[in-house]
């Protein structure tokens, strides 16, 4: 059987989650490897959530927020941009493939971008193979 990765998504309520809904409403098709956690803002994402996701066996983690400047909470995603950038660096410095963690700005009207990003990211994770470095073995 081919490798079907598990991808954790964390999406902000106002933009990316709504954009994901729009992808559904417009019946766009994308791979089913993504499981989305809804948070109110991408700035809610604690760096430890990301580390923990990889420990829980996520093969990839995709974070989605509003475009900078369009945050429902004005400046939330501007903080998130810095904090998630550092999170990404830490993962990279520790030796995890940096392609396993991705942050995308997807607005509520970008259903097609959501579908495209998920499709592309799933392909990328498939190429990277199972994530075993952080995963806690049972």
> Which residues in the 26-85 window bind another protein by CB under 8 A?
27-30, 32, 35-41, 43-49, 51-53, 55-58, 66, 68-70, 72-76, 78-85
Q: Which of 5, 60, 64, 108 binds another protein (CB under 8 A)?
A: 108
Tracing tokens 């993962």 back to the chain, one arrives at 91
- CB nearer to another protein: give 35 or 127: 35
Q: Which one of residues 16, 60, 62, 103 is an interface residue with another protein (CB under 8 A)? A: 103
126 in contact with another protein (CB under 8 A): no
Task: Please report how close the Cβ of residue 15 comes to another protein at its closest, in angstroms.
Answer: 7
Provide the token pair at 124: 């990328």
State the minimum distance, in angstroms, from the CB of residue 30 to another protein.
Answer: 6
Q: How far is the CB of 110 from another protein (least distance, A)?
A: 8
Q: Whole-number minimum distance, CB 97 to another protein, in Å?
A: 6
User: Can you tell me which of 5, 16, 60, 88 binds another protein, judged by CB under 8 A?
Assistant: 88
CA dist., res. 78 & res. 83, Å (int):
9
Give the residue, chosen from 16, 23, 60, 64, that forms a contact with another protein under the rule CB under 8 A. Answer: 23
> Which pair of tokens denotes residue 12?
């902000």
- With H, G, I as helix, E, B as strand and everything else as coil, classify residue 105: strand
Distance (Å, rounded) from C-alpha 97 to C-alpha 36?
A: 21
Q: Residues 113, 86, 138, CA angle at the centre, nearest 5°?
A: 85
Q: For tokens 């791979």, name the residue.
A: 31
The Cα 14–Cα 12 span in angstroms is 6
């Amino acid at each position: 059987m081919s490798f079907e990765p598990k991808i954790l998504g964390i999406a902000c309520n106002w933009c990316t989650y709504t954009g994901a809904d729009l992808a559904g409403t417009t019946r766009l098709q994308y791979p089913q490897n993504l499981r989305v956690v809804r948070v109110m803002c991408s700035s809610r994402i604690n760096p430890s959530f990301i580390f923990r996701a990889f420990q829980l066996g996520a093969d990839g983690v995709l974070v989605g927020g509003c475009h900078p400047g369009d945050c429902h909470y004005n400046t939330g995603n501007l903080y998130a941009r810095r904090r998630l950038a550092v999170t990404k660096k830490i993962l990279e410095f520790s030796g995890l493939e940096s392609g396993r963690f991705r942050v995308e700005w997807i607005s509520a009207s970008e259903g097609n971008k959501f579908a495209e990003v998920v499709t592309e990211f799933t392909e990328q994770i498939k190429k990277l193979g199972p994530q075993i470095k952080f995963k806690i073995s049972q």
